[in-house]
Copies of this chain bind each other. A is one copy, B any other.
C-alpha cells in the first residue's frame, strides 16, 4: 500500500484523521456516494459526530465510549425501502463519559441536520470496556508498589515479565457504579514470546478505569502461604516449536476460484445465489446481517427471510467457586464489544479461496475513526453433497454439490478466540457456526491443591477451570412478511396405546405443536426427549401443498442449561442464558438481552437505564402473528482437556435455521448437477462419459 495515508495506530486500530480523507480508497467502508441507511458510520461521519457532540457539551470535555450508527427505526427504514418515505437521516449514537465528572450520557447526533437530537444522562451503569480502557490495567498495575511486592514475594523482581489480562470485574461488592472497574489477572513470561498462560500468578488486581488507580491487589493465600509460579514453559509459537514441525507430512490442498467469486458486493449489499442481504458492523455486535431476502424460484419473486441477524450477547461462566474465580464470567459482547475485539484478517491465514474483505469502522475515545482493516471476511466454500440419488433399476445417477456463503469475523478476547461464521447454503439454510480456539484461562495450583473437581491440571500445577460458553443469537425474523409466530414442536408417540385401533402396531408418532402466545410462554427450553424444535412461521401464508403455514425451523440441540445455580451472581446477570429461546415483540432499539450496560451489572430488573430480557418478557405481550424477535441460546460446556493446552484445537458449535415448508419444493433444483449418469446396463458400472450430461467441468462444480 505505497499510497496509503500516513496513519497512526491506537490500541491496534488504524486511526484516520481529517487530513487523511483524500487518500482512503483502501477503506472499503468509505461510502462512495450516498450510504445505505444501514451502512456503518464512515471514517468521515465518526469525527463529524464527535465534533457535533463536543460542541454541544463544551466547555465540558468528553471521552467517547462509542460512536456508532443509530440504525433507522424499522418502520422508517422499511417505508424508505418501499419507496413510501424519504431516505432516513444518518444518525450517530454515542455513549460519552464526561471527563471531569464521569457522568455517562447517551447522545444522538443527526448527521444530516447536524443537530444533537438527544442528550440523556444515565446513572448506575458502567459502559463497555474498550481496548483503550483495558490498556490502562497493565500500565498502571505494573508500577504499583503492592503489585511489585506481591511479585517479589514469589521471587519475581523483573516487572517487565509480569503481564495482566484486563477483564471486566464480574462482581465485586467493594465498589458500585461510582467507579468503572476492571480486574487484572496476572501472568509471568520467561521471555518475549513465552506463553504466559503456562505461568498464572496467584494474585489479581482491581483498577479504576477512569482515575487509573489500583484499588486492590488481592493476593491468594493457601494455608497461609503464597503459591509459587509454575515456571515450566509450554509454548506453541515457531520460535519454540522449531524443528518439531513436520513440513512434509501434509501435502498442500489448493482451493482456487479461477473465475472469481459467485457473489456480488455493491457497497455493503451482498447478493449470492438468489440471496440478498446487507452487511453491517458495529463496535458491539460485530457483524450485523440485515434485510435477508431470497429469490423464490417457484413463485419467481423475492421473499423476506430475516430482518436482522446478530450475536447480541454471550457469557462464559467459570465453574470454580473459590475466590477470585467467582469473578470470571465474561460477557464478551456486552462487556468488551465483539466489534472492538475483531481481528484484522489476511488471506491464507484464516480462509481459503477468493476472499472479499470489509473493514470495521469504530471510534477512539477522542472521537477519531478507528478502523480494523479486513474485519469481515466474505467467501465461498464447497459444501459437499447437495443431493444425490441413484435409481437402482436403470443406473441413473444424479448428484449436485452444495456451496456455502460465509460471512465471518474472528475476535480475540484476551486469552480466547472466537470465530463467527454466518453461513448460507443452497438448500435454504442459515447456520451460525462458532469456532472456539485460543488459550484456556489458567490458574496456579498450590502444592496442597488438586485441580479436580473444578478444573483440569493441564500442566503441572496449572489448572484450567470448568466453564460454559453460551451465545445469544438474535434473529429478527421476517418470514414472508413482518407478522410471524413461533410454534414449539415436540416429537411424541401417538397418544393411542399399542394394540388400539388407532395405533395397532404402536409405531405412530407425531409432532405436537404449540404456538407461543405471549412473551412469558416464549421463554422456553430445549427438550431432548421430545427432540424439541421450533418453527418461525408466517400464519398468514399457507404452503400450497403442505397446507401448513410457511416457516423456518430452528435446529438447536446445542443449548446447554446454565449450570450456575438460581440466585447466583451469574444466574442473575446472565438471565438470557436461563432459557434456550426467548420470543418477545419487536421494539426499536431493544437489542441486548443482558442489558445495554453489562459491565458491573447485577441483573436487577426494572433498572431505569438498563433493561434486559427479563424486563421485556415480563411485559408478557402478545407474540402471536405480530412483529417478533427471537433470542436463541446455544453453546457448550467445557471441561478442559490436556489437549486444549497450550493452544486449543478449534471446537465448533452451531445453530441452524432451515426453510420448512417455505418453498414449494427443494429450492436448489436450479443448481446444475456435478454428475449425471444414465447407464441402463448396470447400476454400478459407470462409463467414462457418465458425467457428460453436466454442462460444466464436473471436477469444478
Which residues from B are CB-within-8-Å of A664?
A: 642
Which residues from B are CB-within-8-Å of A118?
A: none
Give complex CA distance A641, B644 in Å: 40
Give complex CA distance A697, B251 in Å: 11
B511 touches A453 (CB 8 A): yes
Contacts A321-B502, A503-B321 given; indicate if A561 touches B350 (C-beta within 8 A). no
Q: Does A560 contact B (CB under 8 A)?
A: yes
22 contacts across the A-B interface (CB closer than 8 A): A12-B682, A138-B393, A236-B387, A236-B398, A244-B670, A245-B670, A246-B670, A249-B274, A251-B259, A319-B494, A326-B507, A343-B390, A347-B699, A348-B691, A349-B397, A350-B385, A387-B648, A389-B438, A427-B650, A457-B547, A460-B545, A506-B570
A344 touches B686 (CB 8 A): yes
Q: Does A33 contact B (CB under 8 A)?
A: no
| Secondary structure call for the A interface | loop
Q: Does A157 contact B (CB under 8 A)?
A: no
How distant is A138 from chain B, measured CB to nearest CB, in Å? 8
Which of B323, B326, B389, B545 contacts A647, CB < 8 Å? B389
Which residues from B are CB-within-8-Å of A553?
A: 641
* CB neighbors of B among A406-440 (8 A): 410, 412, 414, 417, 419, 426-428, 435, 437-439
Which of B253, B351, B565, B646 contacts A498, CB < 8 Å? B565
Which residues from B are CB-within-8-Å of A671?
A: 245-246, 250
CB closest residue in chain B, given A11: B683
Give complex CA distance A9, B395 in Å: 12
A12 touches B250 (CB 8 A): no
Contacts A496-B321, A510-B453 given; indicate if A642 touches B665 (C-beta within 8 A). yes
Q: Does A643 contact B (CB under 8 A)?
A: yes
Proximity bits, A379-397, B CB within 8 Å = 1, else 0: 0111011111111111111
Give complex CA distance A40, B510 in Å: 43
Give complex CA distance A561, B249 in Å: 42
Contacts A347-B699, A390-B343, A390-B412 given; indicate if A665 touches B643 (C-beta within 8 A). yes
B348 touches A675 (CB 8 A): yes
A666 touches B236 (CB 8 A): yes
B699 touches A234 (CB 8 A): no
Give complex CA distance A677, B343 in Å: 12
Copies of the polypeptide in the assembly: 2
Which residues from B are CB-within-8-Å of A34?
A: none
Chain B binder among A49-57, A60-68, A525-533: A525-533
A412 touches B392 (CB 8 A): yes
Q: Does A402 contact B (CB under 8 A)?
A: yes
A560 touches B546 (CB 8 A): no
Which residues from B are CB-within-8-Å of A577?
A: none
Q: Does A86 contact B (CB under 8 A)?
A: no
CB closest residue in chain B, given A512: B453
Q: Does A267 contact B (CB under 8 A)?
A: no
Which residues from B are CB-within-8-Å of A647?
A: 387, 389, 398, 666, 669
Give complex CA distance A559, B560 in Å: 16
Q: Does A672 contact B (CB under 8 A)?
A: yes
* CB neighbors of B among A557-589 (8 A): 557-558, 560-561, 563-571
Which residues from B are CB-within-8-Å of A274?
A: 249
Which residues from B are CB-within-8-Å of A494?
A: 319, 321, 565
